[in-house]
């Protein structure tokens, strides 16, 4: 099994893009459910959708070779 390390630039770009994705997720959930939901339901939905989005996000970044160096 090969191991990789990320450059600082790759890590920063990933973090910035993740914040955009997380903010978009929060905005969409709040817009769709805020008028007819309680805070606990919103928190649960945001965490479930956030988990799915983060998993997909990481799988996509694993396929991008830019900024990865084999150890």
The pTM assigned to this predicted structure is: 0.78
3-state secondary structure of 68: strand
DSSP letter at 2 equals -
Residue 38: predicted pLDDT:
84
What is the number of other CB atoms lying within 10 angstroms of the CB of residue 25? 18
* Residue range 60-69: mean pLDDT, rounded: 94
Contact 61, 21 (CB under 8 A): no
Checking if the pLDDT of 63 tops 80, the result is: yes
Beta-bridge mates of residue 35: none
Write out pLDDT tens, residues 20-62.
999 999 999 888 887 777 888 888 999 999 999 999 999 999 9
Contact 5, 68 (CB under 8 A): yes
Checking if the pLDDT of 65 tops 90, the result is: yes
């Amino acid at each position: 099994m090969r191991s990789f390390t990320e450059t600082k630039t790759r890590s920063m770009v990933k973090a910035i893009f993740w914040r955009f994705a997380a903010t978009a997720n929060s905005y969409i959930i709040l817009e769709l459910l805020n008028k007819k939901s309680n805070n606990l339901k919103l928190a649960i939905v945001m965490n479930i959708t956030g988990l799915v989005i983060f998993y997909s996000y990481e799988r996509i970044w694993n396929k991008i070779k830019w900024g990865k160096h084999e150890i």
